[in-house]
Structures are given as C-alpha cells and as structure tokens.
Structure 1
Amino acid sequence: MGYTIDRDARCAVIGYGSWATALVKIILENETSVGWYIRNRDVLEHVKRYKTNPRYLRDVHFYTNNLKMSDDLDAVVREAEVIVLAVPSAFLKVTLEPLTEPLKDKFIISAIKGIIPGDYLTVAEYMNRTYGIPFDQIGIVTGPCHAEEVALERLSYLTMVCKEIGNARTLSEKLRTSYINVSCSTDIYGTEYAAVIKNIYAVAVGIAVGLGYGDNFLAVLISNAAMEMGRFLEGTYPAPRDINASAYLGDLLVTSYSQFSRNRTFGLMIGKGYSVKTAQIEMSMVAEGYYASECIHQINKRFGIDMPIAETVHRIVYENALPADAMRRLTKKLV
C-alpha cells in the first residue's frame, strides 16, 4: 500500500458554493476543526459575522469556532492533510492559481462533478498531470446527493472512492452522519466519469421536458442514458463495476429528475427557447453538463462509442441545432 491516511488527518474545503458549504457542514459533524478557503472577502466576512453563507444554503448555521476560514489559500492548505476541492470545474484553475504551498504530501479529494474545460480532463486527471499528485493520493466523493437536501438533513447517500479501499474507509468516517450514509469504492475512473456524463443526460432530460415530452418518454430517455453511460465506461476503461450502483445510476436519476438539478434546469430553459448564453446568464450556478458535453464529444472521437444522447446535446448546445429537430431525430434511435 502507498499513501495511507491517518484517521486524525485534518480536512480543508476549497470553495464556497452550495456543495462546498454542504460538505463543510457534513465534515464539521465529525471533526473538531475544519479549514475553509473562501476567496470572496465579502462572503468570508459574512460567514464570520453571521455564521451563514450569504449566497448558498442560507439556512445552514455554522459553529464558527471550529472553522479555520481564510481567503489565503496557502494558509488553509498548509494546515490540512486532506484537501477537498469543491468549486465548479470551470473555475478550478483560477481558484488554485495563488497556491504556492506544495501538495505532494496532501491527499486530494475531488467533490467536483465536472471536466476541466479545454483540457478534456477530469479533476483527478488534471491534478495528476498538473500537480504531479499520484492517483493513490487522489479520491472522489460522489453519489446522488444534492446540497439543498443536505442542508435540510434529509437522508442521503455518498460514495467515497480511493485507489486503496482502506483510505476510502478512513475518509468515509469523516463524511458519515445520521443523515449521510457512505459506501466505498476503488473505481476512481468510472465514478468520476459517470458523475460527469450524467450531467449531459440531465441536460437532455431538461430539454425534453421544455419541449413538452412526457413521463413515458423521459423513462425511455433515462434508461437509454444509463446504457449509454455503461458503454462509454466499458469502452474507455473496462473494470469491475456495477453500473446500477448509486454512484452511477443513482446519481444519473437524481440529476435527471430533481428540482435542485442545475443541469436539468439548464436544459429546461433551452427546451423552452432560451439561447445557451441566455440560460447561462439567467442561472446563478454553473451547469457542468455544458462543459462536459464538449469534453465527452472530443474524447469519443478516439473511441467511436455509440452515444446518440450525448451527441444530440452537443449538437444543440455547441452546434446551434434546433432543440425540437434534434430531439425528434433522437427519438428514432432510442429503444
């Protein structure tokens, strides 16, 4: 075994969006001290003074004596052994830009369900190539778990993924609460790409709803999306995995159906006639499916896997195809 995480390893969360805020809430249930990098000074001062995030999950109140908050990235990273990345993938580069503190002895957890735009890399791949972090020092936290329901302490399920199952089990204890169940996995590649691809399918579902398709069609669309996801994972990186597990199918279902799904909302707006740019402007949060669509399109040029749903979304959001026409053609390809 390579890198081993100590049970008392200190955690720090990078980011101040809804999922970052939810993760801070979860980890604080198990740790006496948690670092939190909030690069927006107004948000930082508000949390310190009022004990809530003014922009996301405002109903979550923090016991700030247990929080080591700062807008100094180096200071936050220096004090922790486990670094949880929880910013939109499009902003990861700029977020980490100020960092001079070495990461070689840190364990990096990606809570980002997205692709690094332009690099066509997942966060784990990007951290490995850019910062030289070995994959046995990288973990993924994933699963059908919306931040809004965490804030309400509704029962939710996460999957902690590490190359070494022992590390996954250790880290799972930092996430397990009375309302969070945690399972463990070693499928870093599969769970991370599944979390990316499901965002594309949620956009497709939103487009279909916006166009007036009903529940019967949505059931067919999502079941075909699950099969398409399985083909992509098996065709690009075969490994023992159960595509029906919550980290794969469960995450796909909640992102496709939930009122909290920003990707579904993004697709819904496009289906109702919004342009891509207008939909992005109207939304207060990033829809990862937009960036994921281009990435998967580029990756699949090498593999040629049959992915009609993903390609339909790409034609709509990147090639200006009319949603109604593109979805009509897709209906002939589903089973």
Structure 2
Amino acid sequence: MNEKSKIAVIGGGSWATAIAKIALTNAQEINWYMRRQEQIDEFIRLSKNPSYLTGVKFDTDRINFTSDINKLVRTSDILIFATPSPFLKQHLKKLKRPLHNKFIVTAIKGIVPDENLVVTEYFEQFYNVPKDNIAVLAGPCHAEEVALERLSYLTIGCTDRERARMLSQRFNTSFIRTSISDDIMGIEYSSVMKNIYSIAAGICHGLKYGDNFQAVLVSNAIQEMNRFCNATNPLHRDINESAYLGDLLVTAYSKFSRNRLFGTMIGKGYSVKTAQIEMEMIAEGYYATKCIHEINEKYQISMPIVDSVFEILYNRVSPTMEIRKLSEKLK
C-alpha cells in the first residue's frame, strides 16, 4: 500500500457515503460499489446519494461506480467495507476474485451472524487475508456529523503500524482527526458492544428513566465492555480512549444513534418487528446482542446489561420488569 493505492468503498448507506466523502478529500478519485444499479444511476443523475445523507453533493466525475464487485476488486487496492454486518455475506456471494493481496479495511460495527465472528476474523478465516492486510476503522463518528463537516475523530486499528499510519494520512482532513492502534480485536468488539449498550440506553429512555440512571448505566457498560475485551483479547488497552468510551458515549446519547432509537421504541412498547419496520434502517445492536450473548457462553463473563437486552429482544421479557431487575445489579 502507498499514497497512490486506489481506494474503493463497498456499501450504499449513510456510513459508506460519509467514508466516500472523507476519502475524496485527499484522493483524486475513488471506486464505489453499490449492489443496485438503479441507486447508482440515480446517484449520478442527482450528484448525491438518493437515499442517505442527501445534503452531501459529490463530483461524480471523480467516482467510478460499479455494481460488479469483481470489477471493483480487480481495479482497487484498498477495499473499505461499510455495509451492515448481516448483509456482508450477501455482498460477497458473487465474489470470484481473491482478497489475500488486497488491503481490507472494515468500517462495519457488527458481527457476522451465524459464524459469530467479528469482520476481521471472518476475512482471515474465509478469505485467507493476512492479519497485516486488515485494518479496522472505529471511533465516535456519526455519518450525519461527517456530512456536516463537524470535527470528528477516527481510530485506525492494524497490526502493521506503518500501513495504519499511511491509511491515517489518507483519512486526515480539516474535519477528521485520526489516530492509530494495534488493538484490532478490542476496538472491533467495542464497536459491536456499544450498539448493545445504546439499545439498553434507548430502552431506559423509552421507559422514562432519567439522566442520573443513564449515567450509571453507561458507567457500568464501559466496565462490562472492559471485562469482555480483557477476557477475549488480553492486552494492555486504555478503555477510556475515544475508540472505546468515546464511541460508547456518542452511540448511547446521540440523536443520530439508530440503536438508541430502536431501544427507545422497544421501551415505549413497540415489538422488535414493528420497530425494525418503522425505522427502515439496520440497528446493528439487535444482531450483536445475540452474537455476544452466544460468544459469552464460552467465557461466562459477568455481563448483566447484555443479558438484559438479550432477554428483552429475544425472549420477549417485559422491558419494565427486566430493567427493574437490572437496576438492582448496577452500582
């Protein structure tokens, strides 16, 4: 990888659109894969994504769109995946070209369902991508604020620090600050788990619990996250850094957080199905809750918040009853 390496974005949602905006700040052009050709046609006609971050105008002459994932992989060096985790396998189904010689960047804050693997593990195990060829994009960075060019911070996790630094330079802009880390698994698991805690915060908001309780909930959540990260990937990390605590805070409190919105609807009495239909967006935390709950069957870490969200979402336990029980365990 070098400064001339061609960047490609995979995905057509709000986060993929925000990443494309960042990438185009320093790159002359990018490749961009979207599954539906009609979305591409409408994008080119309007000079903006017709469905997401519609306030962001693009110079489409600098974008090589394609709905052919094999063409994208053939013509790109750095592949940035920004699709919802439940759809990753679906996007890769038509892939015939190898990925082991590409630099893979996952901006997916979710776990691959069924396999219960974080995305870096999935690419390693199923596509033989070496560890040094994979990076994680994380941190408190809502797509909507990137679109408004409000100052945001990204952490790039990679075992190869030189490659992490090069990618960091490509993403450093007037509105994006970057840092690097070698705690790939910790960052990735934190990115997954903060969505679960955001759903918990939303449920409590829907049940009309106040700010005092929310503060206790979030402070317990970061301890829970730390216990899980230390058990699954023991190495020195500062859980108070922005890639961990910062990402948790913004997802638990922000009006842009779809996981918090999903939780709020559940707390107000919506069924899971109804909340998902009304949102018209993926709440990654719904899938993450089941995955993390199943992974923790092996580790048996004390995770009362994750357990409570699982009971509410998958066993249809009353949110009122479950949060009341949870409140007795928090401190």
TM-score, with structure 1 as normaliser: 0.98
Percent sequence identity over matched residues?
Answer: 53
**Match status 1:227 vs 2:227:** no
2:46 aligns with: 50
1:96 aligns with: 92
**Match status 1:28 vs 2:24:** yes
Separation of aligned partners in 2, 1:270 and 1:104: 42
Q: Deviations over 1:161-200 (max 9, x none)?
A: 1111111110011111100000111111100000000000
Separation of aligned partners in 1, 2:66 and 2:306: 40
CA drift of 1:235 comes to: 1.4
3-state DSSP class of the match of 1:9?
Answer: coil
3-state DSSP class of the match of 2:135?
Answer: strand
Aligned residues: 331
Q: Deviations over 1:208-267 (max 9, x none)?
A: 000010000000000000000001111111111110000000000000000010100010
Separation of aligned partners in 1, 2:79 and 2:206: 39
CA drift of 1:38 comes to: 1.1
Separation of aligned partners in 1, 2:300 and 2:34: 41
2:72 aligns with: 76
Separation of aligned partners in 2, 1:57 and 1:95: 22
CA drift of 1:41 comes to: 1.4
- Aligned counterpart in structure 1 of residue 240 of structure 2, from 238, 244, 264: 244
Please, which runs of 5 or more residues in structure 2 have no aligned partner? none
**Match status 1:205 vs 2:201:** yes
Q: Deviations over 1:266-291 (max 9, x none)?
A: 10000000001111111121000001
Task: After superposing the two structures, state which structure 1 stretch, 13-22 or 71-80, moved more.
Answer: 71-80
> Given residue 265 of structure 1, which amino acid in structure 2 is its aligned partner?
L
- Aligned counterpart in structure 2 of residue 161 of structure 1, from 150, 153, 157: 157
Q: Deviations over 1:16-47 (max 9, x none)?
A: 10000000000000101100001111210011
RMSD of the TM alignment (CA)? 0.7
1:62 aligns with: 58
Separation of aligned partners in 2, 1:48 and 1:100: 27
Moved over 2 A (4+): none
CA drift of 1:146 comes to: 0.3
3-state DSSP class of the match of 2:200?
Answer: helix
CA drift of 1:7 comes to: 2.3
1:147 aligns with: 143
**Match status 1:318 vs 2:314:** yes
**Match status 1:216 vs 2:227:** no
3-state DSSP class of the match of 1:69?
Answer: strand
TM-score, with structure 2 as normaliser: 0.99
1:40 aligns with: 36
Separation of aligned partners in 2, 1:334 and 1:236: 23
CA drift of 1:57 comes to: 0.3
**Match status 1:171 vs 2:171:** no
3-state DSSP class of the match of 1:181?
Answer: strand
3-state DSSP class of the match of 1:29?
Answer: helix
**Match status 1:281 vs 2:277:** yes
Please, which runs of 5 or more residues in structure 1 have no aligned partner? none
